Structure 1
Amino acid sequence: MRQDFFSTMRRIGMIAGLALLASPVLSDSPEHAIAMYGEPALPPDFVSLPYANPEAPKGGQIVFGEAGGFDSLNPYIVKGNAPSQITPFTVETLMGRSLDEPFTLYGLLAESIQTDAARSYVAFTLRENARFSDGSPVTPEDVIWSFETLGTQGQPRYATAWRKIASAEITGPRSVKFTFNVQDRELPLILGLRPILKKAQWAGKDFTASSLEAPIGSGPYVVDTFEPGRFIAFRRNPDWWGKDLPFNRGLYNADTLRVEYFGVDTALFEAFKGGAISSFRELNPAKWAANYDFPAVAAGDVVKEEIPHGRPSGIEGFAFNTRNPLFADWRVREALIHAFNFELVNQTLNGGVQPRITSYFSNSALGMEPGKPAEGRVKDLLTPFAADLLPGALDGYTLPVSDGSEANRKNIRTATKLLAEAGWTVQDGVLKNAAGQPFAFEILLTQGQDEMISAAAIYVESLKRLGIDARITTVDNAQYKERTNAYSFDMTHYIRALTPSPGNEQMLYWGAKGVTEPGTRNWPGINSPAAEAMISAMLTAPDTQEFAAATQALDRVLTTGRYVIPVWYSRVSRLAYRKELHHPARLPLYGDWPGWMPDAWWVE
């Protein structure tokens, strides 16, 4: 979250940040914090996080709006659709992440963390006063039970780290130790961010069953009132054990946080205009320029602000489900990427101002340079997989650019040629294979996803020029989750936000287990030994230089895999909010990111 500084100094700032963290810590004594590389920025006696206001007043209410709904209060399992705010507002972790550093954690439930130079184990000592919201103490038994239950019965994202634990033991009245069976420098930090649940709450209950029973957590808020599909309200716990910790000072200032649910984005925006919603995050720059002339803005009752950040672009676009034989051939995927007229779509929806995502880690020093061949250590990492890499991974790759016209003739000609090479030709105006089967597929989207529906509609018209029959299907949130968990789609909207500190989550996003294992985030069905090898190299990198090279190599594998048709990203977040809401002037590196809004904000 930067201002103009980050838009001009983005790459320089990231490189400088990595350089500052170049020396690994060798101490294995208990510490107040841990960094992926080097030393934490804040000393043991720090007063507050640099982007928090320790003098912020307490009180008031902040109301958010979301499209969709919920039917569960358990966000840790595959079944059900739970509010995303349950964990960050009500459930605490052993360590807390600073949004001002690429990957540094400071003690929360744990007063200290201990590991060795090889990071072959991690030990945590709990704070003596750590309590759940019902007043009961947080114990080592709760920690081990939480890790094991999440790792064996929870969502797939928790399983990878649990499989890397060789032993878990209670080493004292308030201490636990986890010994690992693999080399993975990130594991101590991953475990530090695992939610800690109360073991006794789940005695005799099926943890995997969807339920409207809220988890008993140790965080700043508790679930107050709710109505599935309509709203949920969180009340700040006046007896919260952690309110005086330096890490929490100046955070969690509102007495009440409420989320209202709406069927479509237009209804949500109208509610904001009418004063029922406290803030609105505008994703469309054209709407940002044109739709904020309503009376509350003119009167100064609503503030418009652009919040810069120093994060990679991440990936967003239309994902191919490569489990479908229709999309198994990379030439078919490349052809359909050529058929996507980004310049026309961007001009129509965004006024042409949004930059395109050029790779998964673009907009950062961790990304590949479009069109440039792999060099140095990046090339060394990729060369053993050269026979299996797709064109462009080693010699350079750039997304096609159209002339912006509706015809998009040059790219359509290229797409036609690629499809013919893959065995698809136009017969009587319909694209068919040698067996006479037509090329037809479904684009699955959620109701109320107006922008993506509009982009898909333009794309469908472009595909008709190739003789392809693409149709758009919209479903509600519950159906969408069920279908994407089972990978029951041909193409769908896909978004994965990426940070300056990628790690174990990359295996969940792109690992081969996701090809068949339901509920992972590998929606495209990526099955690439090269990608998994690059992720392993990231996790075992001894310094930031090796880490950056491995990430750049992974970026090349993913981008040239042609798994997603990239759309746009924004170098800023566009926030409109009521004038009574305030945030510190000092913005964190991550910008508008979970952990900043509403955590560091207050109401006057």
Structure 2
Amino acid sequence: NTVILDVVKYDDHTIGILGSVAKPRDEMLFEYSISPVPAHFHKLDENWVRDYNWKIAPNTGPYVIDTIRKGKYIEFRRKQDWWGNDKRYFQHRFNPDFLRVKLIRDINIAYQYFRKGELDSFPLLMPRLWHKKAQGRIFEQGYAGKIKFYNSVPRPISGLFLNEDVPLLSDRNVRYAIAHALNIDKVINTVLHGDYERLQTAHEGYGDYSNPDIRAREFDLDKANRLLNAAGWDTRGPDGIRQKDGQRLSIRVTYYSSGHNDRLVILAQEARKAGIELSLQLLDPSAAFKQILENKHQAAWMAWSGGGLSPRYWQFYHSDNAHKPQTNNVTNTDNPEIDAKIDAYRAATDKASRVKLARELEQLVFEQGSFIPTFKVPYTREAFWRWLKLPDFHGTRSTDSLFDPLGSTGGLFWIDSDEQQRVDEAKSRNKALDPVMIVNKRWATGDE
């Protein structure tokens, strides 16, 4: 392990963690924190995986698993004497006594559970869910509400990843041309109902570390045409697709969500105007990731989850991870200047130096052109039955799910049993309550 070098026990309540690199205090506490594991519970032998996979381990959180029905649900029970009950950041959180997490494999079936009141909340981030699905009597008569809550968190690295090891994509001019041929704004303003926003760089939402001076390459057919002509793709075949040395400018785009079909069809139609064919390949997630991680893809339409307090560059852009399978450098970026900056960034110990290097790295990644940013969603949207209550501020800066009963930013809601009875009575008498529609922009940035 090159991150944590050693863990030392000083007494029954004190340990020390030796990290490989000194970091600013907030990052040090995040990077080098470890969770305690109950030594008395685990027996590490050759049967450990088999014997302990479904055993319920002791933990330090507010809930413990109570019941497991494989393939159906998991129930959690609240610890009444939990050590964190009166601690500053845990007070008044994790309020339900029991949680049941149901396994429902189809989102449309899951919504029917919610509509009947058998699920207390439902995520509505997808535009088709927010605008089309979450309609009808339960909302119009105020039995259930909707909330749109802006947050300020690291955004997923979402977009088109171009594999530089593919000869067609080894030319930077071609990569730039593809970026200029993607009409992202048209997708946002049509199938996405104007709900999403353009992601400008790979690492947004990291505060000082993000580079606000970089803007994603905009849809511009003139620029795309000039770049392709300069790269030698200056003739078109009878179908309008550019050709060079008998080869067509056709790029296979691998993706794994049928919910993105409409988005990609629009992008493919627009790219044809520049003479670029985007050949869309929909695979199930496991097959898509297998192809991508084995470097058998040409372009990957995907997202990596954001996280941490500062951007991570080594796994995505360092040559240590290029030209080999099973790494996150799916663009096969291999640039000595980027390598040097990444090494310096990982070794830097003070925040000012790390911020400066992160911004320089973001500029180099932009110039490399192998990642084309697409969308960001600067909020969470959810439906909820009105017996779920939230504090007046609704959520924190980093809340990404308002009705998540667990997690570092979750557990803020509670269940109002009197309100639940009032809703049940109103439903039975077909009596309307005031509709509930909340928009909270407290943590929205200037662009939003």
* TM-score using structure 2 length: 0.76
Residue in 1 that maps onto 2:428 = none
Residue in 2 that maps onto 1:432 = 243
Corresponding letter in the other structure for 2:188:
N
Distance 1:302 1:458, change over 3 A: same
Within 5 Å, give how 1:312-331 maps onto structure 2: 312-331=154-173
Residue in 2 that maps onto 1:203 = 44
Task: Say if 2:19 and 2:32, in contact at 8 Å, map to a contact too.
Answer: no
1:307 Cα deviation from its structure 2 partner? 1.1
Task: Say if 2:64 and 2:78, in contact at 8 Å, map to a contact too.
Answer: yes
Within 5 Å, give how 1:71-150 maps onto structure 2: none
Residue in 1 that maps onto 2:419 = none
Q: Secondary structure at the match of 1:360?
A: coil
Match of 1:443 among 242, 248, 253: 253
Distance 1:237 1:202, change over 3 A: farther
Task: Say if 1:303 and 1:577, in contact at 8 Å, map to a contact too.
Answer: yes
Within 5 Å, give how 1:340-355 maps onto structure 2: 340-355=182-197
1:356 equivalent in alignment to 2:198: yes
Residue in 1 that maps onto 2:411 = 599
Residue in 2 that maps onto 1:305 = 147
Task: Say if 2:319 and 2:335, in contact at 8 Å, map to a contact too.
Answer: yes
Distance in 1 of aligned mates of 2:204 and 2:120: 32
Match of 1:421 among 225, 230, 233: 230
Match of 1:412 among 215, 218, 221: 221
Greater alpha carbon shift after TM alignment, 231-240 vs 324-333: 231-240
Greater alpha carbon shift after TM alignment, 292-301 vs 259-268: 259-268
Within 5 Å, give how 1:257-272 maps onto structure 2: 257-272=99-114
Residue in 1 that maps onto 2:282 = 474
1:486 equivalent in alignment to 2:294: yes
Corresponding letter in the other structure for 2:177:
A
Distance in 1 of aligned mates of 2:166 and 2:267: 20
Q: Secondary structure at the match of 1:178?
A: strand
1:455 Cα deviation from its structure 2 partner? 0.8
Distance in 2 of aligned mates of 1:456 and 1:221: 42
Q: Secondary structure at the match of 2:382?
A: strand
1:526 Cα deviation from its structure 2 partner? 3.3
Distance in 1 of aligned mates of 2:38 and 2:294: 30
Match of 1:559 among 366, 374, 383: 366
Distance in 1 of aligned mates of 2:56 and 2:225: 54
- 5+ residue gaps, structure 2, are 417-448
Per-residue CA deviations over 1:7-62 (Å, capped at 9, x if unaligned) read xxxxxxxxxxxxxxxxxxxxxxxxxxxxxxxxxxxxxxxxxxxxxxxxxxxxxxxx
What percent identity do the matched residue pairs reach?
A: 18
Task: Say if 1:309 and 1:592, in contact at 8 Å, map to a contact too.
Answer: yes
Match of 2:115 among 254, 257, 273: 273
Greater alpha carbon shift after TM alignment, 347-356 vs 572-581: 347-356
Per-residue CA deviations over 1:300-336 (Å, capped at 9, x if unaligned) read 1212112122235453122223343332222221111
Per-residue CA deviations over 1:495-547 (Å, capped at 9, x if unaligned) read 234468215x4433444333256544433333344445445555555554434
Per-residue CA deviations over 1:206-241 (Å, capped at 9, x if unaligned) read 77899953572513334432434xx44141253775
Distance in 2 of aligned mates of 1:443 and 1:323: 15
1:473 Cα deviation from its structure 2 partner? 2.7
Corresponding letter in the other structure for 1:566:
P
1:238 equivalent in alignment to 2:79: yes
Match of 1:292 among 114, 131, 134: 134
1:341 Cα deviation from its structure 2 partner? 0.8
1:456 Cα deviation from its structure 2 partner? 1.0
Task: Say if 1:167 and 1:179, in contact at 8 Å, map to a contact too.
Answer: yes
Residue in 2 that maps onto 1:190 = 31
1:551 Cα deviation from its structure 2 partner? 2.6
1:187 Cα deviation from its structure 2 partner? 4.6
1:249 equivalent in alignment to 2:60: no
* TM-score using structure 1 length: 0.58
Q: Secondary structure at the match of 1:350?
A: coil
Residue in 1 that maps onto 2:57 = 216
1:457 equivalent in alignment to 2:265: yes
Match of 2:303 among 473, 491, 495: 495
1:196 Cα deviation from its structure 2 partner? 4.0
Distance 1:261 1:513, change over 3 A: farther
Per-residue CA deviations over 1:257-293 (Å, capped at 9, x if unaligned) read 3444455544444443343432222224575345433
1:462 Cα deviation from its structure 2 partner? 2.5
Distance in 2 of aligned mates of 1:579 and 1:204: 49
- 5+ residue gaps, structure 1, are 1-161, 371-396, 403-410
Distance 1:195 1:439, change over 3 A: farther
Q: Secondary structure at the match of 1:249?
A: coil
Distance in 1 of aligned mates of 2:272 and 2:383: 39
Aligned residues: 402
1:603 Cα deviation from its structure 2 partner? 2.1
Distance in 1 of aligned mates of 2:263 and 2:62: 40
Residue in 2 that maps onto 1:367 = 210
Distance 1:491 1:259, change over 3 A: farther
1:554 Cα deviation from its structure 2 partner? 2.5
Distance in 2 of aligned mates of 1:271 and 1:215: 28
Q: Secondary structure at the match of 1:177?
A: strand
Greater alpha carbon shift after TM alignment, 535-544 vs 487-496: 535-544
Task: Say if 1:426 and 1:432, in contact at 8 Å, map to a contact too.
Answer: yes
